[in-house]
Structure 1
Amino acid sequence: MRKSFRALAILAAIAATPIAFAQDANTDASTTPKRFSFVGGYAHMVPKSNAGSLAGQDADLDGSGAPTLSGAWHFDEHWAVELWGAADKFESDVNLANGARGKFKQQPVAVSGQYHFGQASQPIRPFVGLGYYESNIDQEHFDPTVAGDNHVGLDTPKGPIATVGADFNITDRWFARADARYLKGDTEAEVGGVPAGELQVDPWVVGVGVGARF
């Protein structure tokens, strides 16, 4: 978990830097409303520790980073609907209580409604979101001590996603973003097609990015 916390600290430091840009920016909003916004960024996934059991052993999960993309349609100055997802796969390490190890990759995608506080012209605009996600899991690899020659399979976690974040206006078109997303979902494990436990992945995904409005 130390690697995860170091990565989160780096992300937090990066997220703070847009404030300096926002303070000097010309944030006068255009008279023409901008209905679309797009954000490209990078995020670190931190799955739940003590996530459950697999093959009769308690499991601890650790995460990694991946690029992300999102696009949103803004109904008005405050309300929007967003499509968000990972542009590549997050890799998670699995550490079992008996010392066995494994890993898998997942690629989440989500649709959320958002509410943006304040006015479009202000330098910093916080927002919140709530929606639904699914995360495709593949490339599961585990030590032979876990399942021998049998395949360890994990099904698709799905459920609610909650978002908190803030946009830092650089101009009326360009902005920087910092956000945190909580994905609530479990995955059932199978070894050779036989049920073998459940993992409560429940990750936090903390990210930064740069966006544009059109």
Structure 2
Amino acid sequence: MTIFRTLTLASALTLATTPVLAQEGGDTASGKRFSVVGGVTLMEPHSDPATGLDIDGGPAPTLSATWHVTDNWGVELWGAADKFNHRVRGPEGKIGTIEQQPIALSGQYHFGEADNTFRPFVGLGVYESNISNEDIAGGGDHIGLTTPRGAIGTVGVDLNITPTWFARADARYLRARSDARVGSTGETVASDLKLDPWTVGVGIGARF
């Protein structure tokens, strides 16, 4: 519901700024080669990363910067400005927490003309996530997770407010595996954990 409310507000802002766009005359989004977006993202890991385990999702602020090679093609660097916090649960309930901070590099294609009110886009790239502050019960031993690395897919839409400012909603799927290891010995106690989170985010951006 939050995403829908945000898009509704952004649509209202677009209608409200239509006269302003007309007055700006020659200003256009076309030809602007850099954009930045700040927002908030909800990350939800795979509901069943291993038999008997569940990892809850959570929100975090995110940032992205894109170099627009052309009006349609771009290269985006996206990542979390803070850590996502996840609660780990087993059959008996909560068994610990982990934090992660992903970063990704993707190629993107933006559909339509640069000045269109709505501009859908898709992206494909690679990511890795820094797993930290693991606090998982393991019979007295510290259990750590290896760094997941893999593919990321993105779909989203930009809502142009002015030639410079726009609102964004996006969804991403991050696919990778991680191993759980005992910190003192390095012994693997669980392999190929399916973290595979998806994210849903909203934000405000500017292009230059």
Do the aligned partners of 1:23 and 1:123 also contact (CA within 8 Å) in 2?
no
Q: Distance in 2 between matches of 1:155 and 1:103?
A: 15
Q: Offset of 1:13 from its aligned partner?
A: 2.6
Output one character per residue of 1:102-142: Cα deviation in whole Å (capped at 9) or x when no partner: 11000000000000011111111110000000000000012
Taking structure 1 as the reference length, what is the TM-score of the superposition?
Answer: 0.88
Instruction: Choose 159-168 or 192-201, whichever is displaced more.
Output: 192-201
Alignment partner of 1:65: what SS?
strand
Letter in 1 for 2:34: F
Percent identity over the alignment is 51
Distance 1:100 1:122, change over 3 A: closer
For the pair 1:129 / 2:123, whether they are aligned, the reply is yes
For the pair 1:39 / 2:37, whether they are aligned, the reply is yes
**Paired position in structure 2 for 1:80:** 74
Do the aligned partners of 1:22 and 1:124 also contact (CA within 8 Å) in 2?
no
Q: CA RMSD in A?
A: 1.6
**Paired position in structure 2 for 1:168:** 159
Output one character per residue of 1:41-96: Cα deviation in whole Å (capped at 9) or x when no partner: 1001011101114xxxx201111100000000001110000000000000111101
Do the aligned partners of 1:140 and 1:154 also contact (CA within 8 Å) in 2?
yes
**Paired position in structure 2 for 1:182:** 173
Distance 1:194 1:172, change over 3 A: same
Which of 183, 186, 189 is 1:196 aligned to? 189
Q: Distance in 2 between matches of 1:91 and 1:15?
A: 26
Do the aligned partners of 1:177 and 1:209 also contact (CA within 8 Å) in 2?
yes
Q: Offset of 1:191 from its aligned partner?
A: 2.3
Q: Distance in 2 between matches of 1:69 and 1:77?
A: 21
Alignment partner of 1:52: what SS?
coil
Q: Offset of 1:21 from its aligned partner?
A: 1.5
Q: Distance in 2 between matches of 1:206 and 1:32?
A: 27
Letter in 2 for 1:194: E
**Paired position in structure 2 for 1:154:** 145
Q: Distance in 2 between matches of 1:105 and 1:141?
A: 9
**Paired position in structure 2 for 1:103:** 97
Instruction: Choose 43-52 or 20-29, whichever is displaced more.
Output: 20-29
Count of residues in Structure 1 that have an aligned counterpart in Structure 2: 199
Instruction: Choose 188-197 or 149-158, whichever is displaced more.
Output: 188-197
Q: Distance in 1 between matches of 2:65 and 2:16?
A: 26
Do the aligned partners of 2:29 and 2:163 also contact (CA within 8 Å) in 1?
no
Alignment partner of 1:20: what SS?
helix
Q: Distance in 2 between matches of 1:213 and 1:151?
A: 45
Letter in 2 for 1:19: S
**Paired position in structure 1 for 2:28:** 30
Q: Offset of 1:97 from its aligned partner?
A: 1.8
For the pair 1:66 / 2:49, whether they are aligned, the reply is no
Contiguous gaps of at least 5 residues in structure 2: none
Q: Offset of 1:200 from its aligned partner?
A: 0.6
Q: Offset of 1:100 from its aligned partner?
A: 4.6
Do the aligned partners of 2:30 and 2:115 also contact (CA within 8 Å) in 1?
no
Q: Distance in 2 between matches of 1:134 and 1:118?
A: 31
Q: Distance in 2 between matches of 1:208 and 1:74?
A: 20
